[in-house]
């Protein structure tokens, strides 16, 4: 039962008791005490009503604050879920971009290593070519020197052979007897054949040297 109802019933009981006593004992002092008690009860009743109203207002205010906090909590929970989903999406995107960058970096590293290896092979090949060219130049210079020396020797040999053959060709029998040469026993035709044979050989040798 509510406090206001209890107080109202108690006040009614006091009023009834005061009326009964007034009929039984018409004493003024008793009546005054009952009136004082009734007035005090009425004041207490009013105070209780005021307190009840204040408590009701406070309860309503607390209820409104509770509802506001519930709404705020719901909104915060939704925002937190949205932020969490957004963060998860960003994390997944960053992970994918990181994986792509790592793959690209690995590909670039492989390309760089291949380029360096190719450059090293090219440098080695260039060194080999340069060494071969230098060796070839040295060999060509040596061969040119040998050919020049042989050509000079062949020219001198040809000159000497031609001079000897010229002398033999113009060498007569009287000259042979006069100089006591061992060619006296050789017939003139045989001598001419020998001279021609040596000339041909010298010319062949000169032609080969020129080539």
Q: What is the pLDDT of residues 85-127, one digit of tens each?
A: 898 888 888 889 989 989 988 998 899 888 888 888 888 888 8
* 186 shares a domain with 112: no
In a domain, 166, yes or no: yes
pLDDT at 174 over 80: no
**Does 14 score more than 90 pLDDT?**
no
Q: How confident is the model at residue 152 (pLDDT cuts 50, 70, 90)?
A: confident
**Domain end call among 121, 150, 166:** 121
Are 98 and 18 in the same domain? yes
Residues 19 and 84 in one domain: yes
Same domain, yes or no: 117 and 21: yes
pLDDT above 70 for 68: yes
Q: Which residues of 100-129 are buried (b: 16+ CB within 10 A; e: fewer)?
A: eeeeeeeeeeeeeeeeeeeeeeeeeeeeee
pLDDT at 173: 46
Confidence at residue 4, expressed as pLDDT on a 0 to 100 scale: 52
Eight-state DSSP code of residue 187: -
Domain assignment of residue 153, yes or no: yes
Q: Are 113 and 25 in a shared domain?
A: yes
Domain assignment present for 97? yes
Note down the domain range covering 157: 142-210
80 and 109 in a single domain? The answer is yes
Please check whether residues 8 and 98 belong to one and the same domain: yes
Note whether residue 137 is domain-resident: no
Q: Which of 174, 164, 172, 173 is nearest to 195 (CA)?
A: 164
> Tell me, what's the pLDDT at 147?
83
| Pick from 10-14, 40-44, 155-159: least confident | 10-14
Same domain for 44 and 109:
yes
Measure the CA–CA gap between 27 and 31, rounded to whole angstroms: 7
What is the percentage of the chain residues whose pLDDT exceeds 70? 63
59 near 11, Cβ under 8 Å?
no
Q: How far apart are CA 181 and CA 173, in angstroms?
A: 9
Token output for 88: 């998860």
Indicate whether 101 and 184 sit together in one domain. Answer: no
Number of domains in the chain: 2
The pTM (predicted TM-score) of the whole model is 0.35
């Amino acid at each position: 039962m509510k406090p206001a109802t209890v107080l109202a019933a108690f006040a009614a009981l006091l009023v009834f008791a005061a009326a009964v006593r007034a009929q039984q004992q018409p004493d003024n002092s008793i009546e005054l005490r009952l009136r004082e008690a009734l007035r005090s009860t009425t004041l207490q009743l009013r105070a209780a009503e005021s307190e009840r109203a204040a408590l009701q207002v406070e309860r309503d205010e607390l209820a409104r604050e509770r509802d506001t906090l519930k709404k705020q909590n719901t909104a915060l929970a939704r925002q937190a879920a949205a932020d969490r989903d957004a963060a998860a999406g960003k994390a997944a995107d960053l992970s994918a971009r990181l994986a792509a960058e790592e793959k690209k970096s690995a590909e670039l590293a492989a390309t760089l290593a291949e380029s360096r290896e190719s450059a090293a092979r090219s440098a080695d090949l260039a060194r080999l070519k340069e060494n071969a060219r230098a060796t070839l130049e040295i060999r060509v210079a040596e061969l040119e020197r040998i050919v020049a020396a042989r050509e000079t020797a062949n020219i001198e040999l040809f000159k000497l052979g031609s001079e000897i053959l010229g002398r033999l060709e113009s060498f007569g029998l009287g000259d042979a007897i006069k100089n006591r040469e061992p060619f006296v026993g050789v017939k003139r035709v045989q001598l001419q054949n020998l001279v021609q044979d040596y000339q041909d050989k010298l010319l062949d040798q000169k032609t080969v040297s020129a080539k």
